[in-house]
Chain A
Amino acid sequence: LAKTTQPISMDSYEGQEVNITCSHNNIATNDYITWYQQFPSQGPRFIIQGYKTKVTNEVASLFIPADRKSSTLSLPRVSLSDTAVYYCLVGQVIKAAGNKLTFGGGTRVLVKP
């Protein structure tokens, strides 16, 4: 499983755009990039997933450059309720080994009023 590196923490203010960059230099050809959000004392929640270029859903956008060695999660116009830990995961689903996810330490995002 590819190792990921992301900032430990980030502060922002309500209404601003938050961009969290994740490095994954040894990403494999079949690897996808997935982001999860976790609030205190709750299970993580899937936010977005992508393979290359740009993916957008109602919650966030994911930007992946051509070399795929990094990715950026963009949260538009954050609110106080977006304060959480955000995890970047890289991996593939292998029939033999299964869908094993490796969660690093994540990025703690604090949104201030």
Chain B
Amino acid sequence: DGGITQSPKYLFRKEGQNVTLSCEQNLNHDAMYWYRQDPGQGLRLIYYSQIVNDFQKGDIAEGYSVSREKKESFPLTVTSAQKNPTAFYLCASSAEWGTGGGNEQFFGPGTRLTVL
């Protein structure tokens, strides 16, 4: 089955620890994205990547870091500098970067991070 996987589904960490969230896609999509969602709120863009070895900051990049060494993988690290890391994190991907029509984004199942 083609799709996006995120692991783990639930993650608990102590305050002050860095944690890396996994995102893998086998859709052969060029673009990948990370969003954060807080309870009752919409999604906010953290980072996005148009192509391998390239990524851009989104609206709330502070306290986060990413890498894009492989087309299918876009891991997100939540660092100790992120003041309120507890949230639901969603990864997405899309094809045909730069085409008209606002290409559809495909989302993973999400990782719920709780920092104790």
Contacts and interface: CB of A to CB of B under 8 A. Distances in A.
Contact of A95 (B41, B94, B98): B98
Interface residues of A, number: 28
B108 interface: yes
Nearest to B48: A98
A100 B102 contact: no
Interface string A76-105: 000000000001010111110011111111
B81 interface: no
Interface string B89-105: 01110100111111111
Could you tell me the dominant secondary structure of chain A's interface residues?
A: loop
A46 B47 CA distance: 20
A46 B93 CA distance: 12
Interface of A: 30-32, 34, 41-46, 49, 51, 87, 89, 91-95, 98-106
Interface of B: 4, 31, 35, 40-45, 48, 50, 56, 58, 88, 90-92, 94, 97-110, 112
